[in-house]
């Protein structure tokens, strides 16, 4: 009994019992609070139901929506399709070419729905499911900017939710749109497109061309000098010695179906008018396009995506991310121009991280 005050022999055990009851009471309160909080948080199943819910009125179309657009040559219809529903993240996809279709973006369906990210396919005028006016005067960058703004309005996209991803030519359109209408954007992704077409052409001539077999390069240059672009040999050489190295680093016979479908539907009139006859440099209406000195005016959070084996200089892409006011850079070390396929995990994980962190208020994202 040493150390116990006479007359208080049971004091330690009573104190212990009171402490134990207090701890149990507090634990109960914590458990109850956790239960209440968890009840207020939507479950995974509830989130999934909300993502796939279709709140449109009238006959359901699976998310497809035709948008009438005004042009200098009259009114035409362009096609869009929404996948999923997220009031805070709506990603509009601008495909490349110019003249390809939305279809090569179908790989997004394997990644974005699981993350609850809403995305929207969009065939620009003259491509895919949209009207084709067959009028080269309409193949014009500034007109496409105005078309895009009309699409934004029709889809009710706002700075609370509107993210824009432009790939290749779509990157040109995205940059040009942002310089005029960025007040409507929540975030911007410039994927595989330099901010200067003259520097793009220079990179093709001075860096990529030198990586080719000299005999093959001589044949390509000879056909180009003759403007013999319809010669089957021209595209055969490019596909074998250039496209497979710098457009999509997968054996051509194994190119993914969405890519093949999109490229097979290429609007050649639009492509040649804007880009030129091939991806080997640029010689169309976009030949002198350059917004390097204007990037500083882009103030929305911006992700720039570059790839080691791309037709676009990855160092220029990295530099671009330092010129915009809130830039981040995603580098795809195994990728080429279509790095959403040949460096897929890097690309998809990167854009998902950017979208989610930007939604949380982060201005720059580290990779």
* Residues recognised as catalytic: 168, 310, 337
Closest by CA position to 96, among listed 312, 357, 256: 312
What is the Cα–Cα distance from 94 to 169, expressed in whole angstroms? 8
Q: Report the distance separating Cα 336 and Cα 96, nearest Å.
A: 14
Is residue 174 within 8 Å of residue 188, measured between CB atoms? yes
DSSP 256: -
**Residue 252 three-state SS:** helix
Return the number of other C-beta atoms located less than 10 Å from residue 282's C-beta: 20
Q: How many residues does the chain have?
A: 367
What burial class does residue 287 get, using C-beta atoms within 10 Å of its C-beta: 0-12 exposed, 13-18 middle, 19+ buried? middle
Distance of CA 130 to the CA centre of its chain: 21
Q: Which residues of 61-83 are buried (b: 16+ CB within 10 A; e: fewer)?
A: eebebebebebeeeebebbbbbb
Phi, psi for residue 11 in degrees, rounded to 5: -60, -45
Paired tokens of 140: 């014009």
Residue 347 tokens read as 């690309």
Looking at the DSSP bridge assignments, the partners of residue 123 are 79
């Amino acid at each position: 009994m040493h150390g116990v005050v006479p007359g208080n022999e049971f004091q330690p055990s009573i104190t212990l019992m009171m402490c134990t009851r207090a701890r149990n009471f507090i634990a109960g309160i914590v458990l109850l609070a956790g239960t209440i909080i968890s009840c207020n948080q939507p479950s995974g199943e509830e989130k999934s139901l909300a993502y796939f819910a279709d709140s449109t009125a009238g006959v359901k179309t699976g998310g497809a929506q035709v948008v009438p657009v005004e042009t200098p040559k009259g009114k035409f219809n362009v096609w869009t399709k929404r996948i999923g529903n997220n009031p805070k993240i709506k990603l509009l996809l601008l495909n490349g070419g110019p003249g390809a279709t939305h279809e090569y973006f179908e790989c997004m369906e394997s990644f974005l729905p699981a993350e609850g990210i809403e995305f929207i396919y969009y065939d620009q005028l003259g491509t895919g499911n949209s009207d084709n006016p067959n009028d080269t005067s309409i193949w014009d960058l500034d007109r496409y900017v105005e078309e895009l703004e009309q699409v934004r309005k029709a889809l009710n996209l706002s700075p609370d939710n509107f993210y824009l991803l432009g790939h290749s030519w779509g990157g040109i359109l995205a940059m040009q749109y942002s310089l005029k209408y960025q007040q409507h954007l929540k975030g911007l992704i410039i994927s595989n497109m330099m901010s200067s077409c003259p520097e793009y052409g220079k990179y093709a001539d001075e860096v990529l061309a030198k990586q080719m077999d000299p005999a093959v390069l001589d044949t390509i240059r000879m056909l180009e000098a003759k403007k013999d672009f319809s010669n089957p040999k021209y595209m055969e050489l490019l596909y074998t010695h250039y496209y497979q190295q710098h457009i999509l680093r997968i054996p051509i016979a194994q190119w993914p179906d969405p890519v093949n479908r999109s490229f097979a539907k290429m609007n050649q009139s639009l492509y040649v008018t804007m880009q030129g006859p091939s991806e080997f440099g640029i010689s169309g209406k976009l030949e002198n396009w350059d917004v390097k000195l204007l990037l500083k005016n882009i103030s929305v959070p911006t992700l720039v995506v570059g790839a080691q084996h791309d037709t676009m200089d990855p160092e220029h892409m990295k530099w671009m991310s330092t010129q915009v006011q809130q830039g981040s850079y995603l580098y795809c070390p195994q990728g080429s121009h279509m790095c959403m396929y040949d460096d897929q995990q890097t690309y998809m994980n990167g854009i998902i991280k950017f979208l989610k962190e930007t939604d949380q208020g982060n201005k720059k994202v580290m990779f």
